[in-house]
Every structure is written in C-alpha cells, then in structure tokens.
Amino acid sequence: MNENKNTLFIYKDVEIFKKRLQKHIQYVYTWYELIRGYVNFFNPEFNITKLCMEGYHDFSKLNSVFEFNGYVLLQKIKILELDYNDYPSVKNIINKATLHHIKNNKHHPEYWDDEFDIDNFNLEDRDSLPLIPVDARNMPLLYLCEMIADWFAMSEELNSDVTDWADKTINKRWLFNDTQIELIYELISDIFNLNRCKKV
C-alpha cells in the first residue's frame, strides 16, 4: 500500500465491504429480535420496538461518502495485515470516519456523551481505550439493546466471547450505571443461553 500512488478503491474492495456490512447488519437484526423478545416478555412495560430493516443500523457507513471511504480503507488495512500507524494520511481518514460514525449512531455510547470529541478519541489506536472513558449513563434502553446486539454480531463474526468484550470495556472504555451494567450482563448470559437452546 503506497500513499504516494493513487489509492482509488477497486471494485473488489467495495464489494467485499458491502457484503461484509450487509452480513453484519443481518446478524445485528437477528440478535436484536432475540433481545427485544426477551426484554418485552419479562418486562412488557418497556415495550422495546422493532428496528427498521432498511436505512438504520450502520447505514451511515453507506450513506456518508466520508465514512464509506474510511471504513473501506480500514478493511483494506486489515486484509493486507498492515499497521495503519505506518500510513499517517490513511490513519487520519480512518480515525475521522470512525469518530464521525460513533458520534452519529445512537447504538454507540459516544453518541450520548456531549463531552466526547476528537480530544478524547485515541488517535494512536482507534481500538484501544479512549483517553477519558465515555459517559454512557444516559443511553436509553432501546439503544442499549441495539448495542448489545451489535456486540453479539461482532462476536459471531470474529468468533470471540462477548462476555470478555464486556469485561474489557465496561467502566473502562464506557461508563454505565449499575442498572445498565446489571442488564447488560443479564442479557448477555440469558440471550447466549437462549440462542444455544434454539440450535439444539
């Protein structure tokens, strides 16, 4: 990957990104429906609504050219197993696209923290902890459920443990209140077991 050359995306890069995103969105909706059904069954007063199938979860990655370019670049970096720190201009594009995404999508805790901006964002490593933990204590239940569905989707795609992710991030990357934390771990445990029973 040479920054001095024209880095226009080839058709293959774009198609891989679109297919991967479409698959991710389908996973999110599947997990969200499990979560929504569980929450509404045991707590009907919450009445968690359905997500719109079109133009909702992560739609800005397709709707925003700015985000689209950044995330296709990020995908390319990962496929080629490169360190984006070696490509400063590419890293800048990816960081700005990431920051735009998490501040404009309600299933990301950063959306709910008015104090979070580029000064808090870890510009050296977008996947590491922010310089200051994000305050997600005002995050509504609907979007908390969508966030957990997103975690499950990523866990399924990466073959990772969603509980490990929660342990690494709760009150380290994102600050939640005690009620939110209890709900997050309850949903992770019960939804995982519910899904496992469905497969038997």
Q: pTM for the whole thing? A: 0.87
Instruction: Give the pLDDT confidence score for residue 5 in this predicted structure.
Output: 44
Residue of 116, 17, 28 whose CA lies nearest to 67: 17
4 lies in some domain: no
> What are the helix and strand counts (H, E) for the chain?
7, 2
Pairing of strands 174-175, 134-135: parallel
Assess whether pLDDT exceeds 60 at residue 9. no
Assess whether pLDDT exceeds 90 at residue 140. yes
pLDDT tens profile 158-184: 999 999 999 999 999 999 999 999 999
177 lies in some domain: yes
Residue found under tokens 């199938």: 53
* Residue-range definition of the domain harbouring residue 77: 11-199
pLDDT tens profile 40-84: 888 877 777 877 555 589 989 998 998 999 999 999 998 889 888
The total domain count for the chain is 1
6 lies in some domain: no
Query: 10 Å Cβ neighbour count for 52?
Result: 10
170 lies in some domain: yes
110 lies in some domain: yes
130 lies in some domain: yes
Close Cβ partners of 62 (under 8 Å, ≥ 6 residues apart): 18, 21, 68
